[in-house]
Chain A
Amino acid sequence: MVTVADKIAAAEGHGRYRALVLRRLLLIGGLCIALFLSVAIDMALGPANYALSDVLKALFQSSTVSDQLRVVIWDIRMPIALMAVTVGASLSVAGAQMQTILANPLASPFTLGISAAAGFGAALALVGGIAVFPVATQFMVPVNAFLMAMLAALFIHFASTMRGVTVETIVLLGIALVFTFNALLSLLEYLASEQALAAVVFWTMGSLTKATWPKVWVTAAVLVVTLPLFARRAWALTALRLGEDKAASFGINVRRLRLETMMTVSLLAAIPVSFVGTIGFVGLVGPHIARMLVGEDQRFFLPASVICGALLLSTTSVVSKTLIPGAVLPIGVITALVGVPFFFALIFTHRRRSW
């Protein structure tokens, strides 16, 4: 018999869930506002600093501002600011889904060797002028980086299809790849001329300064294509976190889901790395911050990972311009310096388990 107490408890469960959803939506909304502000500040900063109001005017009423301001904001700073957003988002989502399908908090494009492979590919072009695939010289570095990153991702992908290979083995394989490509990179650096060495070191530190509109469009397009694929599988991907057996018992083809996700993630990880160099921290920490804020229901975790990654890299871009006035520090270096204190603060103040 259903008692009054039971009815009250049931109503509480229902209501509390709706409140939880609302809280998460508000959090995601807040993150969006923070991201918008960060991008605007990022565009205001540079050799000539503009007021935030000027930037907003250039964005929304471009006919009312000077040609110079319009050109600086739209043609120079906006590609860089938006590159930070798309690259941060891509790496963070790639990391989030790698952590999900491999059930491992350490999984990310960086820890699975994809970034290291890209670094080696770029170094091949910078040091030896070797093209993995014949292309025009100016595209050699990103194409090499992309192809090596895809090669590493495909290796991980095919290794994961082999019988008897567990998710733990895949993470170990990834770490082995990191060491291999780092060793090869060191070898190239040892053999490189002074000029080529400087170029390799700069590339591996990651930089947004060479961002252009076409690069922004390509990374954005990859996001636009891949995000709906993840969104469509939101319930299944979330269920994967309950364990393989449990997910299979819900009727999910776990093997297929893993493979499809890994393929998509490879693309998401390889493209940004090939454009901006090695930016390791975002892919690992972006998803963890998102997880701490909204949990692992992919309906919230996916957008939160996108925004957290974008926000992390955008904020980093701001910091990289402000630490030493007049100089733009390599973003790959600053990412960790900005992200670590924030990440530590979240870990130490968060009372609930976050993995």
Chain B
Amino acid sequence: MVGLALEGLGARYGKRIVLSGVNTGLLSGGGMTAVIGPNAAGKSTLFKRIAELTSGPGLVHLSGTAEGKDTICYMPQDTGVNAVLTVYESILLASKQGSGWKVHDSELHEIDRILSALRIDDLAFRSLGELSGGQRQLVSIAQALVRKPEILLMDEPTSALDLFRQVEVLSFMKSLSARSNMAVMIALHDLNHALRYCDNTIVIANGTMIASGPTSDVITQELLRDIYRVDARIENCSQGRPVIIVDGSLT
């Protein structure tokens, strides 16, 4: 089974250490791990370090991954794109890196399948520049999925999506990770989504790891007070799932 574990992981930009001390147990394929923390805590940096896009101390232990394969895929935060490309071309582009000019039918069928699974087939031949922020995020997810990663690092993939799309995307990712035995790490700001969809959670604040473990153990009233400086309750809803209710004040 695919899995990854982080040992003393840190990152530096130049000589400046911007992230340190990230340790986790084995985060195995088939499950989702939330990475939470305030803005500018170091969540994106953690992803970039895992994907080896930046350097730093510590180790990323991989297990059960196919050798030589493009194992880890980092899906960056959405940025405005003004490339004169259609959505379809931008997804093809993601799948064709490192290969020849010829596009095979099987590659196009795969794109069709992903567009259809994310229910964005209607966007296929729209120009990237015409898309809304939420649509761009969905295209970005398609670009990541077409690369068939074993470990997928998603940096705030739902930040620009409406509630329906947030639930749809997270449910889809949860079932996809289970189905394809993919390990998904996902940076989230909505902690209720983390509670509902993620088995494990890593908390990052001020460039260091604060906590790591099963989500329901990690996201506590104390964490919300200490890290987010918000007085809130965590109660079980009618379906028995923990839900955060913010009815207190800022601390």
Contacts and interface: CB of A to CB of B under 8 A. Distances in A.
B124 A16 contact: yes
Contact of A13 (B70, B103, B115): B115
A245 B79 contact: yes
B97 A251 contact: yes
Given A9-B116, A17-B108, A246-B76, A235 B96 contact: yes
Interface stretch (A171-179, A206-214, A295-303): A295-303
B105 interface: yes
Contact of B112 (A9, A242, A246, A354): A9
Interface residues of A, number: 40
Given A14-B109, A20-B125, A291 B84 contact: yes
Nearest to B44: A245
Contact-residue bracket for chain B: 35 or more
A238 to B, nearest CB: 6
B164 interface: no
A250 B129 contact: no
B111 interface: yes
Contacts of B140: 246
B79 A234 contact: no
Given A242-B83, A295-B86, A296-B85, A235 B93 contact: yes
Contacts of A242: 81, 83, 85, 90, 93, 128
A164 to B, nearest CB: 9
Nearest to A3: B116
Given A239-B93, A248-B53, A291-B84, A163 B14 contact: yes
B65 to A, nearest CB: 15
Contacts of A167: none
A353 B129 contact: yes
Contacts of A352: 84, 127, 129-130
B73 interface: yes
Interface string B216-228: 0000000000000
B207 to A, nearest CB: 19
B116 to A, nearest CB: 5
B112 A14 contact: yes
B196 interface: no
Interface in A237-256: 238-239, 241-243, 245-246, 248-252
Sorted nearest first, the 3 A-B pairs with minimum C-beta distance are A10-B112, A241-B83, A245-B76
Interface of A: 2, 6, 9-14, 16-18, 20-21, 163, 231, 234-236, 238-239, 241-243, 245-246, 248-252, 291-292, 295-297, 299, 352-355
Given A245-B76, A249-B74, 4 more contacts: A235-B97, A242-B83, A249-B51, A297-B89
